[in-house]
Structure formats: C-alpha cells, structure tokens
Amino acid sequence: MPPRDPDHKPDLFNPSGVIHAARLPVTSLYIHVPFCGSKCSYCDFYSIPDPDEDLLVFWHDHLILELERLAGEADRQGVLLAPLRTVYFGGGTPSLLPVQLLLSIVARIRALFSFSSSCDITLEANPESFSSREKARTLKLLVAAGVNRVSFGLQTSSDPLLASIGRRHTAKDLEFAISAAARAGVDHLAVDLMTGLPDQRLQDLHETLNFIVKLPVDHVSAYALTLADQTPMDLLYRKCPARFPDDELERQMTHQVIVRLESAGFEHYEISNFAKPAARSRHNLVYWRADPYLAAGPAAASYLGGIRRVNPPSLKGWADLVEDPGQGPYGAATVEELVDEKAARVETMVLGLRLIEGVTRQNFRLRHGIDYEEIFGKRLFSLEKRKLIIQDQEGVRLSERGLDFADLVARELL
C-alpha cells in the first residue's frame, strides 16, 4: 500500500457520516442452533435442552425461510453481499442436529449465496456427538458438504470437573471424536477450554494443557468462567465462594495457558485465542475487526449497514418475526443499536485491542479518516504511563501487563 498523505481523507472514508463498516461487503454468516443435550451449570446462552424432532424441524424450516429473506432482501436493504468467506454454526450444540438437517441447511446456503473458493465452514460440536463409530460416520458427510473446521467444547480433561459443571462428555469422548474428525478429513480442529472452575487447581489445568497439545488441533480458545446471573454456577458461587479460584490464581492460570500453548507452537493472537500458523479463526476475526456479518436463528446477532441487530431469544418469537412480511431479518423489531461514526471509532479501538497485534495507525485512519490520537490521545497516554499499552510507529497494543487488565483498558476507552 502506498504511503498516505496524513491530511488526505482516504477514499474509504465517507464524509456523509455513513460509517466505513456499513459500506463493506458482507462475507460472513453466523447460524445459531439453539439446542443442547442438557444445560451446563454455567451457561446462560439461549438454548433448549433435549429438543424433540418436531422442534428441530420447526427450527430448520424457519431458518431456511430466514436465510431466503436475508439473501433475497439484501439488495433492497442496501446490504452488499460478497462471496462468503466464513459460515459458522454456533450454539447451543450444532452437532446435536441430525446430519440431514445440517446438510439441507448447507445446501440451501450454497444455493442462496455465492461462496469464496476458500470458505471456512465451522461447526461447533460437543464431543459426545461423535463419540461412537456410528455417530462419527456422519463426519464424512459433513466434510463432503464443505464443513472444514470443527470446534469442540472440551473445557477440561478432568472427568470429575466435567461432571461437576454439567458436561455430558469425558476426556476419552473428546479423544475419540477428535481422531474421528481428523480421519474424516476435517482440515481444522479446535478446542475450547475453561479456567476459573470451582475446585479447579493449577495441576488440573496443567494436565488439560498437556492433553490438548497432544491432540491434532490447530486452534485453542481459553476462557475464564463468567458467572451468569442465576445460573446454578452463580448460585454455587454465592453459597461457596471459597471453592472458586481467587483473582491471583485466575491470573496464574491464564499465564499457565499462554506459556504452555506458546511452547507447543500456538501463537497467542487474541486475548483468549491461540492458533497454529494459518489457523486463526477467520470468522471470529470478523467480530474483532468490527466488520459486518449476517446472522440467522433465535438470539443470533448481526452487524449490517452500521446496525447491530439481535433476533428474539425465543424459538416462537423468532419464528413469528421470520414469517412476518413486515419484519423479517431486516425489520425494525431486531434493531439493537445504530452505530454512528463516534461509536464505530470506539469499537475499532476496543475490539482491535483484543488482538495481540493491536490496532494499526494505518488501519484506523483508513476506516475513520482520522488519527486515533485525535480521539483517544489523552486516555492512551494515561494507559501507556501505567504500562498497560504499548504505542509505537505501527500502532497501539496491549502490554503483557495490559493483557491481565484488558477489561479495565476497554472501560477507559469507552
């Protein structure tokens, strides 16, 4: 890219006030699958435990209708669709769906949208979905349909801990499922792990990390437990806080994750995410870069044309909306927030700082037509003085100390 004249507004900046992200072509689609085998004790995502077949088919049929409306009405809504680069089935437990329903959805997406030649199709999965030979056979069908990334919810390799947080699998189930997925030809395999669980010790985490680095996975997400209000986990915390790691132990756990995964060849590229070379989550990068994306399914959130939307977190409420000719996926009922230029600048900075590489001067100027110092200068100076961020010619990023206080940094930039 040629050097930029600092006084020149880049072409991508639109002085009419329409934010840059609103004018980017959309290349990502998220699908929310709101079903689980049962409810984990810490989870407050919208999901229906143990659904019957009728409910699954009801969801499938409405999802197809929503996808048809997303594609068919995009033009009229000023949404510029480009070939999809990422499709992400999240949940809930997408792997709980009968394979025929999943294949039908993928086929419909292919018919409605164009695909880039290197599109990532990710399926979130729980290990028990593929923990027997018979269940694992479906993986080949998914691969043939284009699913090339499966992200497994492992959380921990300790079976007692898994049972205590309401997970339905064991470490052995995960091993079986991962090797079945690798044999079926899934290109990218990922696992999620959790820290901060009740009664979790550094030794448990040590064993989980050793377990993970021996698996054929190229991506690891490591999240600290968050206590969602009124979940069984939250109630347990109120009763027995001493069973939960304190801040210091949590910090030690986070550091243990970083050191062990980096020593095994994973790059720490986002606060909570680690990838082998060329295996970053392309779909999640769209979120961290505040780029636009489509979404379908109950409770699914999208970002289109500078508007953040959230579908109703209820199967019936969502289905009514999808059927309503006056509403649908682009209707007023789902609008959560209109992102103006001022809010968009904050998003670029706060979300971008989640990435270890941080926010580059060039990218910020390209998106917003202004240097970030002009907006955040004083606050960045104060954060830098406290050694929470590093600034250089290239841009700004969290320091090692800043990684421990990322929430505080974000709050100060809001």
Question: Would you tell me which residues interact with ligand SF4 (CB under 6 A)?
Answer: 36, 39-40, 43, 45, 47, 91-93, 126, 153
Sequence-distant (≥ 6) Cβ neighbours of residue 200 within 8 angstroms: 156, 158, 161, 245, 253
CB of 44 to ligand SF4, least distance (A): 8
What's phi and psi for 144, nearest 5 deg? -60, -30
CB of 89 to ligand SF4, least distance (A): 12
Would you say 43 or 258 has its CB closer to ligand SF4?
43
CB of 232 to ligand SF4, least distance (A): 11
d(CA 281, CA 148): 12
* Closest to 64 (Cα-Cα) out of 105, 32, 106: 105
CB of 104 to ligand SF4, least distance (A): 22
Would you say 91 or 352 has its CB closer to ligand SF4?
91
Would you say 123 or 339 has its CB closer to ligand SF4?
123
Would you say 27 or 129 has its CB closer to ligand SF4?
129
CB of 47 to ligand SF4, least distance (A): 5
CB of 214 to ligand SF4, least distance (A): 24
d(CA 77, CA 34): 27
* Closest to 367 (Cα-Cα) out of 96, 93, 91, 20: 20
Please provide the distance, in angstroms rounded to a whole number, between the alpha carbons at the two ends of the chain: 30
What's phi and psi for 310, nearest 5 deg? -135, 125
Would you say 45 or 405 has its CB closer to ligand SF4?
45
Pairing of strands 219-224, 273-275: antiparallel
Would you say 81 or 310 has its CB closer to ligand SF4?
310
Mapping DSSP to helix (H, G, I), strand (E, B) and coil, where does residue 50 land?
Answer: coil
Tokens of 192: 């999620």
Would you say 86 or 231 has its CB closer to ligand SF4?
231
Would you say 191 or 304 has its CB closer to ligand SF4?
191
Pairing of strands 294-296, 26-33: parallel
Sequence-distant (≥ 6) Cβ neighbours of residue 126 within 8 angstroms: 36, 37, 93, 95, 96, 152, 153, 167, 168, 169
CB of 267 to ligand SF4, least distance (A): 26
What's phi and psi for 333, nearest 5 deg? -65, -20
CB of 313 to ligand SF4, least distance (A): 13
Alpha-carbon torsion (386, 387, 393, 395), positive or negative = negative
Length of the chain: 414
**CB atoms < 10 A from the CB of 163, how many?**
12
What residue spans of 196-340 are helical by DSSP H?
202-213, 232-239, 247-263, 282-288, 315-323
CB of 96 to ligand SF4, least distance (A): 9
Would you say 96 or 147 has its CB closer to ligand SF4?
96
